[in-house]
Amino acid sequence: MARGRDAHQARLGAVAALGKNLSRRASSRCELCEGDEDLRVMEVPPVDEDPDEDAAILACRLCREDIDSKKLYDLARLRFLETAMWSETAPAQVAAVRLLRRVAEREDWAREALDGLWLDEDMQARVDAT
The answer to the question of residue 15 lying near Zn ion (CB under 5 A) is no
Which residues, at least 6 apart from 9, have a Cβ–Cβ distance to it below 8 Å?
none
Contact 93, 85 (CB under 8 A): yes
> Total number of residues binding Zn ion (CB under 5 A)?
6
Report the run of H or E that residue 42 belongs to, with start and end. strand 40-43
Contact 25, 53 (CB under 8 A): yes
DSSP structure class, residue 85: T
| Contact range with Zn ion by CB under 5 A, out of 16-24, 58-66, 88-96, 117-125 | 58-66
> Which stretches within 28-86 are classed as H helix?
61-68, 81-84
Which CB sits closer to Zn ion, 97 or 122?
97
The Cα–Cα gap between 77 and 59 comes to 15
Instruction: For the CB of residue 34, give the shortest distance to Zn ion in the complex, in Å.
Output: 7
Instruction: For the CB of residue 26, give the shortest distance to Zn ion in the complex, in Å.
Output: 10
The answer to the question of residue 33 lying near Zn ion (CB under 5 A) is yes
Which CB sits closer to Zn ion, 60 or 97?
60
The answer to the question of residue 58 lying near Zn ion (CB under 5 A) is no
| Contact range with Zn ion by CB under 5 A, out of 23-31, 41-49, 88-96, 105-113 | 23-31
Number of residues that this document lists for the chain: 130
Among 55, 58, 63, 78, binds Zn ion (CB under 5 A): 63
Q: Which residues bind Zn ion (CB under 5 A)?
A: 30, 32-33, 35, 60, 63
